[in-house]
Amino acid sequence: MALAPLVRLVACGSVDDGKSTLIGRLLAGTGSVPDDQLQMARTTRRSGSTVAPGEIDYSLLTDGLESEREQGITIDVAYRHMELPSHRRLIIADAPGHEQYTRNMAVAASTADVALLLVDAERGVRTQTLRHLTICSLMGVRHAVIAVNKLDALGFDETVFEGIADTLLPAAERLGIERVDVIPVSALEGDNVLERSGRTPWYDGPTLLEILDQSEAITNGEAGLRLPVQTIVRAPGFRGVAGTIATGTVRAGDRLEVAGRSLTATVAEIVRLNASPESAEAGEAVCLRLEPDVDITRGDVLTSVDDTCHPADRFSAELVWCGDEPLAHGRSYLLVCGPLTVPAVVTAVRHRLDVESGSLEAARLLALNDVGRVDIATDAPVPLDSYERSRHTGSFLLVDRVTGDTVAAGMVRFALRRAENITRQEYVVDRDARRRIKGHPAGVVWLTGLSGAGKSTIANEAEQRLHALGVHTYLLDGDNVRFGLNKDLGFTPEDRAENVRRVAEVARLMVDAGLVVLVALVSPFRGDREAARELFEDGEFIEVFVDTPLDVCAARDPKGLYARAAAGQLPNLTGVGQDYEPPTHAELVLSGTDSADASAAAIVAAVLAE
């Protein structure tokens, strides 16, 4: 394979293994930092520095990231550029070693060709070392350089080096990493970094710089053209679709297809700044003028007609969980892949990977830094390739719908076959026909609040009033559904999320039947309620917050739950052992200390006003 002009490297490993110092020495030794920055690195002193006066503190050449981490600032990956002896460019991603920044490391590894994994010889192989090696493998990195650092502190003991190599080489082989180089180095003193060291006569391999200079870029899978549409460009007499080519090549005159939409068009012109080239390749941002001007929107994926991507709504995927809260079954997240954003639910956790032993363990959830195989369902079919075919259109992020935080990095393994076996059926008698015969609008009234807030009492009174007015209703009570539909669920956050999801789906069917559905459910998490809301059309969902102080609920204690929680028998009671997230934009806020008649009247007025 011919050497590529650009190679991407992710530098990773556990905290304080020496990444910044090693990267700084590479940059300085190849002339990739300016003289004034080198001069500053000679004169600046830090507390606890082991660098003698007048020498270069190479860790200062990586933008002082350690001091930012110590202050608790969340940081992104730092990227530095250097030129290799072969005149190719090397882009170095300095990934944080702390466990709480694993998401940053996963993002950096997703575009890397080579992984530089540092190991502190004094501390040996740690869990974070193996976790980073595992993530690199999952992200498609097939070349790992294991730098055993700080051997100078151990007199360059060969047995220490061999012990670390004997631990990591089998792990790399098990993970499918095709090429592994293990090299003894001292980032502080420069041994085997740029030049061979006389203090390691037992090592006759290449230097770190020589290894990097021989490295190869990863070819981006087997997928043909993939152009995710990022924006529609409009100008007088012109309409084009713009985006960055993920894989493949596009040429003027090519016949393209909009994945999953049976729309085809011909590339009439490729437009770039001050140019109209005949072709463009992966990595280039382009604007295409198509003939005919078919209906394309942001998030669509353009493909070649002979190698298209078939959208699906069920996938098997690997997840690296980065959220502080564990993965919750049934909770709706946002799946983001380039310009594409769609609600998604993890329907099953197949297994969790033990990064130390490589064994697959049964699991119901994934916690911070866990790696596991899951089944995921999207609200609509989406054009995702397998990660093996395309690192760009086969990877995604899961984002918390409320906070906007990234909670997982995912790699699609394959679309689940059942995604192709079901088709939505359309019938003559539809929701509008059902509503006309009932003579009133349909919708859901979702009452949320603490246990004992009065939700069921208010919902019962409101249903009686609506029924007396001839409104067709049904009441879904949180306790009642747990006797049947949700009898298999407990009260952990993930079970509560699934409880809300199932109730919301049943409510949607009843609204489709033309009913006004009252739901009385604690539903403590804002994100779960927002996911329920999105199942309905505008105006069909009325969120009612029954705002009752905790002490009032505990004094009422109609089910004896608060007494059991006080005795330590109920650890997951909302408001005591588990948080409650009150609504921020509820359509109706009721005081749980007012009369049930007044609260019910307010609900009836809101329903009839729709």
pLDDT digits (tens, 9 = 90+) for 1-33: 344 468 999 999 888 888 888 988 898 888 777
Is 426 a domain residue?
no
Which of these, 499, 519, 496, 498, lies nearest to 507 by C-alpha position? 519
Query: Is the per-residue pLDDT at 63 higher than 60?
Result: no
DSSP H helical ranges for 557-591 = 561-566
Same domain? For 195 and 256 the reply is no
Is 144 a domain residue?
yes
Q: Which two tokens stand for residue 384?
A: 């995702």
Q: Report how far residue 606's alpha carbon sits from residue 451's, in angstroms, rounded to the nearest whole number.
A: 24
Is 221 a domain residue?
no
157-205 pLDDT, tens digit per residue, is: 999 999 999 999 999 999 999 999 999 999 989 999 999 999 999 999 9
Is 276 a domain residue?
yes
Task: Give 231's strand partners.
Answer: 242
Q: What is the CATH number of the domain that holds 346?
A: 2.40.30.10
238-266 pLDDT, tens digit per residue, is: 889 999 998 889 999 999 999 888 889 99
Same domain? For 447 and 571 the reply is yes
Per-residue confidence (pLDDT) for residue 570, from 0 to 100: 84
Query: Is the per-residue pLDDT at 120 higher than 50?
Result: yes
Per-residue confidence (pLDDT) for residue 133, from 0 to 100: 93
Q: What is the CATH number of the domain that holds 181?
A: 3.40.50.300
Residue 508, SS3 per DSSP: helix
Q: Quick one: what percent of the chain has pLDDT higher than 70?
A: 91
Per-residue confidence (pLDDT) for residue 208, from 0 to 100: 95
The residue whose two tokens read 């994945």 is 259
Give residue 50's pLDDT band: very low, low, confident or very high (50, 70, 90).
low
Per-residue confidence (pLDDT) for residue 210, from 0 to 100: 95
Same domain? For 146 and 127 the reply is yes
Burial of 456 (C-beta count, 10 Å sphere; 0-12/13-18/19+) = buried
Question: What is the arithmetic mean of pLDDT over 254-283?
Answer: 87
Give residue 82's pLDDT band: very low, low, confident or very high (50, 70, 90).
confident
C-alpha radius of gyration, the chain, whole number: 29
- Domain's final residue, options 249, 274, 304: 304
Same domain? For 382 and 410 the reply is yes
Per-residue confidence (pLDDT) for residue 68, from 0 to 100: 36
Same domain? For 482 and 589 the reply is yes
Give residue 62's pLDDT band: very low, low, confident or very high (50, 70, 90).
low
Decide which of 299 and 58 is more confident: 299
Question: What is the arithmetic mean of pLDDT over 147-158?
Answer: 94
Is 81 a domain residue?
yes
Same domain? For 269 and 372 the reply is no
Same domain? For 153 and 253 the reply is no
Per-residue confidence (pLDDT) for residue 54, from 0 to 100: 59
**Which of 56-70, 436-450, 595-609 shows the lowest mean pLDDT across its residues?**
56-70
Non-local (6+) Cβ contacts of 491 within 8 A are 572, 573, 578
Is 515 a domain residue?
yes
- Domain's final residue, options 251, 271, 304: 304
Same domain? For 581 and 598 the reply is yes
Q: Report how far residue 204's alpha carbon sits from residue 184's, in angstroms, rounded to the nearest whole number.
A: 10
Q: How many domains does the chain have?
A: 4
Per-residue confidence (pLDDT) for residue 77, from 0 to 100: 64
Same domain? For 471 and 490 the reply is yes
Per-residue confidence (pLDDT) for residue 43, from 0 to 100: 60
Per-residue confidence (pLDDT) for residue 73, from 0 to 100: 34
Is 1 a domain residue?
no
Same domain? For 295 and 363 the reply is no
204-242 pLDDT, tens digit per residue, is: 999 999 999 998 887 656 678 999 999 998 888 888 999
370-405 pLDDT, tens digit per residue, is: 999 999 999 888 999 999 888 888 999 999 888 888
- Domain's final residue, options 280, 304, 328: 304
Per-residue confidence (pLDDT) for residue 52, from 0 to 100: 63
Q: Quick one: what percent of the chain has pLDDT higher than 90?
A: 48
Highest mean pLDDT among 126-130, 377-381, 519-523: 519-523
Please give the residue range of the domain that contains residue 275.
Answer: 226-304
Give the β-pairing of 114-120 and 6-13. Answer: parallel
Per-residue confidence (pLDDT) for residue 65, from 0 to 100: 41
Non-local (6+) Cβ contacts of 231 within 8 A are 241, 242, 243, 298, 339
Same domain? For 300 and 404 the reply is no
Residue 318, SS3 per DSSP: strand
Decide which of 423 and 186 is more confident: 186
Query: Is the per-residue pLDDT at 285 higher than 60?
Result: yes
Question: What is the arithmetic mean of pLDDT over 437-464?
Answer: 94
Is the backbone peptide bond immediately before 34 cis, with ω within 30 degrees of 0? no
Q: Which helix (H) or strand (E) holds 23?
A: helix 19-29
Query: Is the per-residue pLDDT at 146 higher than 70?
Result: yes
Same domain? For 102 and 51 the reply is yes
What are the CA-CA distances from residue 535 to residues 221, 444, 501, 582 (Å)?
36, 11, 10, 20
